[in-house]
Amino acid sequence: MTHESLLNQDWEYLVKRLGGAAFLERSARETGAFLQARVIKSAVVLLRLLLAYCVGDHGLRLTAAWATSMGLVNISAPALLYRLRQSGDWLSFLVDQMLCAAAPKASRGRLIRIIDGTSVPKAGKTAKKQSNLWRVHSAFDLPSERFSYFELTDEKEGETLDRIPVIKGEIRLGDRAYLQPDRIARVLKAGADVLVRGKWKGARWRDKNGQPIDFLAMLRAAKSGRIDRPIFVERKAGANLALRLVAIRKPEKAAAQARRTRLDGMLSEKAIRFPKEPSMLPTGSFC
């Protein structure tokens, strides 16, 4: 987007895509971005001014000068900065509306949360020597694109799917570290749905009769390159957990890249484990 596109038919199209002038006026007032028509006469003018700064190439002073020269509004750089600070919730709301409109119907109206954790080394010689860590557990909400939860622990606390309180009706996403059957069961019981990645050796996979599933044989038999079927996972406590398994074969190029990445990781692990014995590194291929 350029300054020119904010003053021609592209701008009119954008206003329409965002719900129209009346909708923008109402939402700006509800979020506190635009309360009274003084220097800036309408929410549409305010949005045009905000986008000129946020998406354009100019700073506050040049954006204010541009708005004045185009007859849009006569505003100073400090006043523009104030408007920006007051409009964060409004811009977030408009982005939410655009993302929700493009989301699959099954996810509309539901909170989608990405659960993850990261580790940071503790400061101090003793802590570094003992490999002590701070671990940050978080929840990132879509489509608002905001963190809604943080928890700080030490390295003794692991990443668990049910650590973060469940919001009923949410869809909780996690990577393969969160394939934790008993904890998945707790999240489901609390009223959420769960979507996690899985490794073929990451769980005790069972059929409806409780019999072990030959996971590799099932993958090889998928001639279409896709699996979508009910499956059960054995738990430490309680009945087997009923889930839905979805697997899609990677394109050959992506599969080759994944194998190379895995091989590089294995070689790096060996190099760290035997830094003084390079001759002990494996020379074959690993898949």
Confidence of residue 8 (pLDDT cuts 50, 70, 90): low
Rg (CA), the chain: 26
Q: What is the pLDDT of residue 58?
A: 83
Instruction: Kindly report which listed range (86-90, 97-101, 172-176, 279-283) carries the lowest average pLDDT score.
Output: 279-283
Tokens of 163: 């650590």
pLDDT (mean) for 114-131: 88
Angle formed at CA 10 by CA 2 and CA 83, multiple of 5 degrees:
60
Q: What is the DSSP string of 129-182?
A: HTT-EEEEEEEEEETTTEEEEEEEEETTSPP-TTSSPPPTT-EEEE-GGG--HH
- CA dist list (Å): 284 to 250, 266, 267, 275, 281: 24, 11, 11, 19, 9
Q: What are the tens digits of pLDDT across the range 20-48?
A: 989 999 998 998 888 877 888 888 888 88
Sign of CA dihedral 77, 83, 87, 88: positive
Average pLDDT, the chain: 83
> What pLDDT, in 10s, does the model give residues 16-27?
888 898 999 999
Distance CA 163, CA 233 (A): 21
What is the b/e burial string over 186-216, where b = at least 16 CB atoms within 10 angstroms of the residue's CB? ebbeeebebebebeeeebebbeeeeeeeebe
Q: Residue 177: its pLDDT value, please?
A: 92
Average pLDDT over residues 104-123: 83
At 225, the amino acid letter reads: G
Q: Per DSSP, what are the bridge partners of residue 242?
A: 232
Give the tens place of pLDDT for each residue, 171-181: 999 999 999 99
The helix-helix angle for 60-69 and 77-86 (nearest 10°) equals: 100
Q: For the residues 36-62, what does the mean pLDDT come to?
A: 85
Q: Strand, helix or coil at 284?
A: coil
Q: What is the pairing mode between strands 226-233 and 171-174?
A: unpaired
Q: Is the peptide bond before 143 cis (omega within 30 degrees of 0)?
A: yes
Q: How far apart are CA 153 and CA 92, in angstroms?
A: 30
Long-range contacts from 185-190, C-beta under 8 angstroms, 24+ separation: 185/235, 185/238, 185/241, 186/162, 187/161, 187/162, 190/162, 190/166
Sheet containing strand 193-196, edge to edge, reads 146-154, 133-142, 112-121, 171-174, 193-196
3-state secondary structure of 248: strand
> Please, what is the angle between helix 88-102 and helix 43-54, to 10°?
90
Question: In the prediction, which pLDDT does 1 show?
Answer: 46
Element (H, E) at 245: strand 241-248
- Can you say how many angstroms the Cα of residue 1 is from the centroid of all Cα atoms in its chain? 25
Q: How far apart are CA 143 and CA 93, in angstroms?
A: 10
| Residue whose C-alpha is closest to residue 44's, from 23, 71, 69 | 23
Least confident of 166-170, 243-247, 258-262: 258-262
Query: What is the tens place of the pLDDT at every residue in 202-219?
Result: 899 999 999 999 888 888
Mean pLDDT to the nearest integer, 46-54: 87
Contact 164, 147 (CB under 8 A): no
pLDDT for the residue numbered 41: 85
